[in-house]
Amino acid sequence: MAALPSETPTNQEDEKRHAAATALRWVRSGMVLGLGSGSTSAHFITLLGEKVQAGELQIQATATSQASEALARQLGIPLLEPRRGLRFDLTVDGADELDAQLQLMKGGGGALLREKVLKTASDYLLIIADSSKYVAQLGRFPLPLEVVPFALPWVLDAVEKLGGAPVVRPNQSQPDGLYRSDQGNLLVDCHFKVISEPEQLALQLQAVPGIVEHGLFLGMAQAAVVARGEQAVVVRAGQVDVEAEGFAELP
């Protein structure tokens, strides 16, 4: 795996904010943006909102979750409703794990379905992450699945047959104690420890009825900004560039 530069690690939250701030270099006025979900994306949306409020950027956006949409609205970011033909110049989103080939695991915040929908309508996916997310191999983080409630028992059986240990995501503030996605579906977190063949696993999961979406995002991201200490690097498949002026040009 291409190595990140070694630096004294700072606070994880600082790294998330640094990655988010660096990603702003990709944004140009006139762009239509996809806004990701989770804590790193929240930093990005906040910083973007400051630029919009200061009149430094004129952009429009659609968010990948109700939480990100509410934050963007509160910050005065102009929002677009989903409609036919809508495309995004750039989507900026977090990840739970990424490797040197830009294979991603996402969905720790439960937003994987909308994230994949927006990514599919985007010309460029830029991942922002703190250094803890950069791994040699996917799988230490449990793989999230969005599952139709009726199908749950059979999905659990299928995941076990594939070698995973499934856990239905809890949410104690819900009447049934279970987490619900923005679509009202359940989330199942699958512990595989190591995912040695992500492409094969993705195909196997796609073949299980009732799994609406899985959190493997393979061959989807063009680049990732990973912050380590006070440094940010850009990861493109198989290549790591240390932060420098001009490294953020879109192709």
Ligand X SMILES: O=C[C@H](O)[C@H](O)[C@H](O)COP(=O)(O)O
In the 8-state DSSP scheme, what is residue 138?
A: T
Contact stretch for ligand X (CB under 6 A) within 20-28, 72-80, 105-113, 225-233: 105-113
37 is in an annotated binding site: yes
| Residue 97 found at the interface with ligand X (CB under 6 A) | no
- To the question of whether residue 96 is assigned a binding role by annotation, the answer is yes
Residue 136, by phi and psi: left (phi above 0), alpha (psi -120 to 50) or beta? alpha
> For ligand X, which stretch binds (CB under 6 A), given 45-53, 88-96, 190-198, 238-246?
88-96
When binding is defined by CB under 6 A, the residue of 26, 69, 97, 109 that contacts ligand X is 109
Residues in the chain, overall count: 251
Of residues 39 and 101, the one with the C-beta less far from ligand X:
39
Instruction: Pick between residue 68 and residue 231 the one whose CB is nearest to ligand X.
Output: 68
Assess whether 115 carries a catalytic annotation.
Answer: yes
* 119 in a labelled binding site: no
Minimum distance from CB of 85 to ligand X (Å)?
Answer: 26
**Half-sphere exposure for 12 (CA within 13 Å, toward CB):** 7
Burial letters 108-129, b for 16+ CB under 10 A, else e? bbbbbbbbbebbebbebbbbbb
Does residue number 34 form part of the binding site for ligand X (CB under 6 A)?
Answer: no
Rounded Cα gap, residues 80 and 227, in angstroms: 30
Among 35, 100, 103, 107, contact with ligand X (rule: CB under 6 A)? 107
Asked if 4 and 240 count as a contact pair (C-beta separation under 8 A), the reply is yes
Extract the tokens encoding 63.
Answer: 């968010």
Stretch that binds ligand X, among 2-10, 31-39, 118-126, 219-227 (CB under 6 A): 31-39
Q: Are residues 150 and 114 in contact, defined by beta-carbon separation less than 8 angstroms?
A: no
Of positions 20, 22, 40, 205, contacts ligand X by CB under 6 A:
40
Interacting residue ranges for ligand X, rule: CB under 6 A: 36-41, 93-96, 106-112, 115
